[in-house]
Amino acid sequence: MLEIDMWKEHLGIKNIFESLNREFADAESLLDNTFATLQESGDDKKATLPYYYYGYQLNVGPDGIPHVKEFGNVKPLTQRPGPSGSKEPLIDTSVDKKRNTLRITAEMPGLNKQDIRVQVQEGLVSIHAEKGEKKYHTELPVEHRLDENSVKATYVNGILELNFKLSEQAKPKRKEVKVD
């Protein structure tokens, strides 16, 4: 063990580990103080901390191209905020080129199917759901042309699934021009 400590010290790694240990101890102390304050207030069952999350999702499509998507209820300041108090559901999309379909899956637990509204317009799918304290909202830009009449929507166990058929892309008309 002494030999390992010598190497850590020689390479300067020992200081890095000590610094990390201090950071984790400080974070643990902060959490302990927060929970102690909540318990002292005597109202710890009613006290709730804000629930914020934000992240990126990486999917590799069937074509082998990676697609990065943002999710969460906290957006960078450059984007416009959603409706007050709403969360953005975790979304997954996939295109099946063989079947010519688009599937959108949204995770929105704690709702009934009557609480969900979906709107489709050119290049955009909007999902809004609300039941009591639970509010979800997202607007998904869609690169493909969708057959709006073909959509099938199901909501089971907190998962909304939308299945669209892709409409044929308008083929550019070609006209032969006579040169004079």
- Residue 3 pLDDT > 50: yes
Angle between helices 13-40 and 2-11 (to 10 degrees): 100
**Coil vs helix vs strand at 169:** coil
Q: How confident is the model at residue 111 (pLDDT cuts 50, 70, 90)?
A: very high
For residue 12, count other CB atoms closer than 10 A to its CB: 8
Per residue in 15-65, pLDDT (tens digit) is: 666 777 788 888 888 877 777 776 666 554 554 555 566 677 777 777 877
Residue 76's H or E segment, with its range, is none
Q: State residue 144's pLDDT score.
A: 82
- List, in sequence order, every beta strand (DSSP E) within the chain: 54-60, 66-72, 90-96, 101-107, 116-121, 124-131, 134-141, 146-156, 159-166
Of 5-14, 32-41, 108-117, the least confident: 5-14
Q: State residue 70's pLDDT score.
A: 75
Among candidates 122, 134, 38, 34, which has minimal Cα distance to 83? 134
- Residue 14 pLDDT > 90: no
